[in-house]
Amino acid sequence: MAKDLLKFVNPKFLRTVPLDAMRRLLDRHRDRLLEVDLNNFDADPIVGRAALTEFFAGPDESYPPGLVTDLHQIAELGSTEGLEVIVQHARRTNVALPQDWGKCDPKHIALLTFLDFPELFATAASIMDRNRVIGIIEMVGKDEGVEAQLDPSALEAFDRAAIAIFEADMFGRYCNVSWYEDAGGVTLVVAHGAPLVATSIIEDQVERVVPIRATQYGFVFYSSLTGRLKLSGVAMARRGDVAEAFARCILNRPGFFSGQAARRLYTLEPVQRDWPDFQLRHEYDRSILRARIVEARIDDLSLDLFGDACKVEGTLVARDTQFCALKRLRHMCPEIEFTSGRWRIGHLVARVEIATATSHTSSVTVKIRPDADATFKRHRVEAQIMEFLRRNGFCHERRNDQSPAAAE
């Protein structure tokens, strides 16, 4: 299965999704479907679900690009938050959603909305795009090439460490760790309890209060090639603890992600060096149609007796969605320069327009804050955007004085 579809088109989804809805979705791409017989959906439901599972277990090449695009769009709204957006916007626009949808999973409702109310779906998707903030925490280890040890004893040790973390935060003792290979690395899926919630239920026409602990999921991705760790679904206060548990139990390298260097990932030095004429490069990738800096923040610093920055005296923010926010900043404040140390770039926001398999253009917004954060919607075009950041000099290169190149 295509790796970035795995979390959406999972076994639970395939076992429960309405078969007639999936038949209609696949029928949109009938001319390019080579690996699935849609007639199976007209037979026994067991046969239909088996055919569906077999299709999505196949190689990436068997999926029409348009189907992948559809599934990504549906995945955006296939959550509790997405369901709330769909329902609220339907109410505002007087769209009557079927009452029996109240028994459906949010992913199924997103699929049905996509098929039956395309205008409502498109508007809800734009609302989600505008409001969503994607949080992925990144760290880089002290070395490259350190392999993850995923034998049962290592996974059991990590499971015990994770239980201690979650139990201390009152999430209970439940924890289940699974893993899969993904995009040049390994991903650990950590299922654990959420905070206990008391809720009222109706049973035999009697109301009673019961405690419910839902399941939450954290994801730990590690690439031995780069030594980089990515965490999502992990509380900020616990990111260091989870990273250390991974280093100690899975890598057998305690302290592998400790120290300031672990969070030294991104830089805006190329922009300061070429100020204000810095230009984003994208000619190496034909699918990137346009890239521009739409927002920039400049901090005005006070300097101590040694010429080092000691505090922020003021901040300038410029936005320009059509041309370049750097030019606007220069016009606002001509005295900005980056040689004295008085000024620094606090963050940049770039907008990258990418051609897709359909006639639509995908717009990806990337916010870069030195040294640790590059925020964007990673589930679709992460590799492409990371290459874009590297090509433009926004990624810190690892310093390795012991490498053969350094020795030469």
Same domain, 31 and 110: yes
Residue 347 and residue 296 in contact, taking contact as beta carbons nearer than 8 Å? yes
Q: If pLDDT is split at 50, 70 and 90, which confidence band does 313 have?
A: confident
Full domain range(s) for residue 241: 137-263
Name 203's bridge partners. Answer: 206
Cα 266 to Cα 140, 383, 386, 389, distances in angstroms:
11, 16, 11, 9
Question: Which of 98, 131, 164 is where one domain is finished?
Answer: 131
Separation CA 223–CA 386 (nearest Å): 14
Q: Is 399 part of any domain?
A: no
Question: Which of 77, 103, 131 is where one domain is finished?
Answer: 131
Q: Of residues 212 and 279, which shows the higher confidence score?
A: 279
Q: Is 147 part of any domain?
A: yes
Of 58-62, 271-275, 377-381, 397-401, which one has max mean pLDDT?
Answer: 271-275
Same domain, 104 and 147: no
Q: If pLDDT is split at 50, 70 and 90, which confidence band does 406 have?
A: very low
Whole-structure pTM value: 0.65
Instruction: Please tell me the predicted confidence (pLDDT) of residue 322.
Output: 83
Instruction: Please tell me the predicted confidence (pLDDT) of residue 12.
Output: 74
Same domain, 44 and 152: no
Question: Which of 263, 284, 306 is where one domain is finished?
Answer: 263
Sequence-distant (6+) residues with CB within 8 A of 154 are 249, 250, 252
Sequence-distant (6+) residues with CB within 8 A of 315 are 297, 298, 299, 300, 346
Q: If pLDDT is split at 50, 70 and 90, which confidence band does 129 have?
A: low
Q: Is 406 part of any domain?
A: no
Q: How many residues does the chain have?
A: 408
Q: Is 142 part of any domain?
A: yes
Q: Domain count of the chain?
A: 3
Separation CA 406–CA 408 (nearest Å): 5
Same domain, 121 and 165: no
Same domain, 275 and 246: no
E strand or H helix that includes residue 122: helix 118-131
Separation CA 81–CA 132 (nearest Å): 10
Sequence-distant (6+) residues with CB within 8 A of 151 are none
Instruction: Please tell me the predicted confidence (pLDDT) of residue 77.
Output: 87
Per-residue pLDDT averaged across 74-98, rounded? 87
Q: Is 177 part of any domain?
A: yes
Same domain, 118 and 178: no
Percentage above 70 pLDDT, the chain:
88
Average pLDDT of the chain? 84
Q: If pLDDT is split at 50, 70 and 90, which confidence band does 309 have?
A: low
E strand or H helix that includes residue 244: helix 239-249
Tell whether the model's pLDDT for residue 350 goes beyond 80: yes
Same domain, 121 and 232: no
> How would you class 262 by CB atoms within 10 Å of its CB: exposed for 0-12, middle for 13-18, buried for 19 or more?
buried
Instruction: Please tell me the predicted confidence (pLDDT) of residue 404.
Output: 37
Q: Is 238 part of any domain?
A: yes
Instruction: Please tell me the predicted confidence (pLDDT) of residue 206.
Output: 82
**369: alpha, beta or left, given left = phi > 0 and alpha = psi -120 to 50?**
beta
Q: Is 400 part of any domain?
A: no
Q: Is 408 part of any domain?
A: no
Same domain, 280 and 382: yes
E strand or H helix that includes residue 386: helix 378-391
Same domain, 329 and 311: yes
Same domain, 45 and 114: yes
> In this structure, is the dihedral angle defined by the CA atoms of residues 368, 372, 377 and 382, taken in order, positive or negative?
positive
Same domain, 23 and 92: yes
Residue 269 and residue 253 in contact, taking contact as beta carbons nearer than 8 Å? no
CA dihedral 116, 122, 127, 132 (to 10 degrees): 90
Q: If pLDDT is split at 50, 70 and 90, which confidence band does 285 have?
A: very high
Same domain, 334 and 306: yes
